Structure 1
Amino acid sequence: MSPWHLTRRRLFGLAGAGAALAGAGAAAGYGLSGAPAADGVVAFRGEHQAGIVTPAQDRLHFVALDLTSTDRAAVADLLRRWTAAAERMTTGRETAEGGAIPANRYAAPADTGEALGLPAASLTLTFGVGPGFFDKLGIADRRPPRLAALPRFQGDRLDPARSGGDLCIQACADDPQVAVHAVRNLVRDGFGVTEVRWSQLGFGRTSSTSTGQATPRNLFGFKDGTNNLKAEEPDLLAQHVWVGDEGPDWLRGGSYLVARRIRMHIETWDRSGLDEQEQIVGRDKGEGAPLTGTAEFDLADLAATGPSGPVIPDDSHIRLASAEANGGARMLRRGYNFVDGSDGRGHLDAGLFFVAFVRDPLTQYVPMQRRLARSDALSEYLEHNGSALFAVPPGLAEGDDHWGRALLA
């Protein structure tokens, strides 16, 4: 084990928070790329929030919260405390000094303790605000016009208990207990100011966000996100992901997060023939190649025709989701598989928790989803039952900068 390997147990014994953080930063070789260092620590501060272009980790715990207070000062104080706790947890430490084992054994521990002894596990915590945040705090004039509830798309069966939210926190890590611990402790600290609206656990990332990652598979068994934007494409990220001068000051350099809970009717899909599955998706199931190619990353020839018409069918998923079909619009996908038990009727409640980061949801995501909902052959096997949109501010500067500071100043 490296002498610089960081765990919550080891850092708990260091003399002070400042010394521990400085040591962790120097050891981890923090940078602005969002990539984890050798010890699994991802830089918390930088130009953009971590957890967007960071190489996608294997596990997710996503939570949407509602404000229960309209006191702007109380909310600002909570965001300050959340930032301090989040920064500690992403370096493998407990949420606060005193942690899970306080000196006063009759006091409630400051940290719930289930991550004691576990490494940082590439934990990232990404913060966003929803439309209601502004109305409840009396700052509606600061809400960007693009931040509004997503429209209802054809076929949507949205559950209000799985949609919306005033705030969100996305925790991604390579250890599920590390991600759950992070969300659990931030939720706990928000008592009296926020409450959970809904949450989602995810496993097995369904997109790669770095060229160093292999393309994963979704629960239909197909490689997912082959043409996803990558961290190594800064020009494309600037064009499609990061909010520019068109956004308010507090959002420039940030992004918009689209979240959709998509139940997949896997039992019906599993009874479909392989040829039908490949025609619906537009790709070969084994290699992941488009039906006009032989290798996964071959460009799909959407103009190719055969005896029965287009080789890649007009209603195939990859055609309708392609940049060519959507005016060149692209997005950074960061979704996860989920299995949340069964529905009581012999079917798994399983599917894709779709997460995407875009510069403009109204010109990038909405038109594409309308096209998919109307014409995609895959829609027969999908049910969208959760939906939310959040604005994700840019990253934090060094020093005392904290979540929401520029927004609530």
Structure 2
Amino acid sequence: MAVGALAAGGTAWGLEAASGSDSPTASDRDLVDLTKSHAFYDQPHPPGIQTPPQRHCIVMTFDMSEGTVGSDLQTLLARWSAAISRLMAGQPVGQVQPTRTEAIGQDTGEASGLDPASLTVTVGLGPGLFDKRFGLATKRPALLRPLPVLPSDALVTSQSGGDLSLQVCSDDPQVTYHAVRNLARMARDTVQTRWTVIGFGRASAGGGQQTPRNLLGFKDGTRNVREPEEFDRFVWLKDAGWMTGGTYQVVRKIEMDIEIWDADRVSDQEHIFGRTKLEGAPLTGRTEMDTPNFSAQAKDGTPVIDPTAHIALAAAENNQGVKILRRGYNYTDGINQFGQLDAGLLFIAYVNDPQHFITLQRRLGASDLLNEYISHVGSGIFAVPPTPATGHYIGEQLFA
């Protein structure tokens, strides 16, 4: 179909005039301040978690190279800490153009002239670091263990696990890529890259932002952890020794059968989620923020919200009050081996007890109506240490 036909008629493929609820007004659109920066040192908690969500995210995981020892890991964490503080301030990690033109630049230079764009870098330590290789077995965070096999797992080994993780977020895709590129570059003699996911969108609503949508077209994160007291209750570690002030990070790469989903009726999609597609309201309410009524029944006596709908299985009311902080981003990897869109959700969760995620995922993986359209293909768990004080580095307590 010619582009001109769409422009002239405006009704091809159902493109009639949009209603007010379909088209957000200017006041609904959040404005991005690319000059904004976040401090790294001397903060109560690690960056990139409670930080207002940015538009772009890259998660990259690494394995320590064979033959490395504890001092190699210590040096890497110290160098990363110094580099992250500069990157988050909008500065290069070193000289882009050395005084000797034949020398190799310390910074790759593609972010020169760009603003910080609210860059944050979050470092995670995987369970494998606490084996016999580095002499850290006695320093293992109390709740850091590999995730068990969970229902609906279809994990790909090459997209799971890792000794280290970097979550890099900013409002400029080039700033984001520059940061993860340079941190990986300075570690290349110590680590090997394991898997990477490049995400886009926003992690959650906040600061007047609309709730973001996943690639299935539904709002994602309506009932997320938001208030400071919720972070204290569900995210940050207390009385946890050297990990006090830190948290645990769970990363999942969730592949979506988008083309099959797109062929389904919207009414069925809403039944699966338990929410309306456009407004995001629970099927028992009228607005997005209405509290779902899971006991409400239709005239025929059936529940209005199916007990196996996504919203019902994930609700705190149905999980002994437990919540997890979601920082989900959409991703796309082009076309898969079947010639279909390869896309889905980069799901990042932060919890002060990984069992909370495990409990929720066991329920969702066992009976969620959404499972017909998604597969968990990547997975990792990491401990996120507290932010260091000026003059110190991430995880310094491990080597005391």
Number of equivalences: 365
Match of 1:356 among 335, 349, 362: 349
Match of 1:344 among 327, 333, 337: 337
Aligned to 1:382: 374
Aligned to 1:330: 323
Q: Does 1:71 align with 2:69?
A: yes
Q: Distance in 2 between matches of 1:158 and 1:376?
A: 18
Aligned to 1:235: 229
Q: Distance in 2 between matches of 1:38 and 1:192?
A: 33
TM-score norm. by structure 1 comes to: 0.87
Match of 1:57 among 47, 54, 59: 54
Q: Distance in 1 between matches of 2:73 and 2:379?
A: 24
CA distances 1:83-115 after superposition (whole Å, capped 9, x unpaired): 11111111111002xx21111111110001111
Aligned to 1:286: 278
How is 1:131-146 mapped onto 2 (pairs within 5 angstroms)?
Answer: 131-135=127-131, 136-146=133-143
**8 Å contact from structure 2 (residues 248, 352) kept in 1:** yes
Q: Distance in 1 between matches of 2:127 and 2:57?
A: 23
Give 3-state SS (helix, strand or coil) of 1:353's partner: strand
Aligned to 2:358: 366
**8 Å contact from structure 1 (residues 48, 396) kept in 2:** no
Long gaps (5+) in structure 2: 1-31
Q: Which moved more, 1:365-374 or 1:212-221?
A: 212-221
- Between the aligned residues of both structures, percent identity stands at 47
How is 1:258-337 mapped onto 2 (pairs within 5 angstroms)?
Answer: 258-308=250-300, 309-337=302-330
CA distances 1:287-310 after superposition (whole Å, capped 9, x unpaired): 110001001101011111112411
Q: Distance in 2 between matches of 1:325 and 1:142?
A: 35
User: What displacement does 1:37 show?
Assistant: 8.0
Aligned to 2:156: 159
**8 Å contact from structure 1 (residues 206, 218) kept in 2:** no
User: What displacement does 1:330 show?
Assistant: 0.2
Give 3-state SS (helix, strand or coil) of 2:362's partner: helix
Give 3-state SS (helix, strand or coil) of 2:169's partner: strand
- List structure 1 runs of 4+ shifted beyond 4 angstroms: none
Aligned to 2:243: 251
Give 3-state SS (helix, strand or coil) of 1:259's partner: strand
**8 Å contact from structure 2 (residues 136, 398) kept in 1:** no
Give 3-state SS (helix, strand or coil) of 1:198's partner: strand
Aligned to 1:223: 219
**8 Å contact from structure 2 (residues 270, 276) kept in 1:** yes
User: What displacement does 1:205 show?
Assistant: 2.1
Give 3-state SS (helix, strand or coil) of 2:255's partner: strand
CA distances 1:39-77 after superposition (whole Å, capped 9, x unpaired): 311111201011000011000011111111432122211
Q: Distance in 2 between matches of 1:224 and 1:341?
A: 22
Match of 2:44 among 43, 47, 65: 47
Give 3-state SS (helix, strand or coil) of 1:338's partner: strand
TM-score norm. by structure 2 comes to: 0.89
Aligned to 2:28: none
User: What displacement does 1:259 show?
Assistant: 0.3
Q: Distance in 2 between matches of 1:122 and 1:260?
A: 24
Match of 1:117 among 100, 103, 113: 113
Q: Distance in 1 between matches of 2:208 and 2:161?
A: 34
Q: Distance in 1 between matches of 2:202 and 2:282?
A: 21
Amino acid aligned to 2:312: R
Amino acid aligned to 1:199: T
Q: Which moved more, 1:76-85 or 1:382-391?
A: 76-85
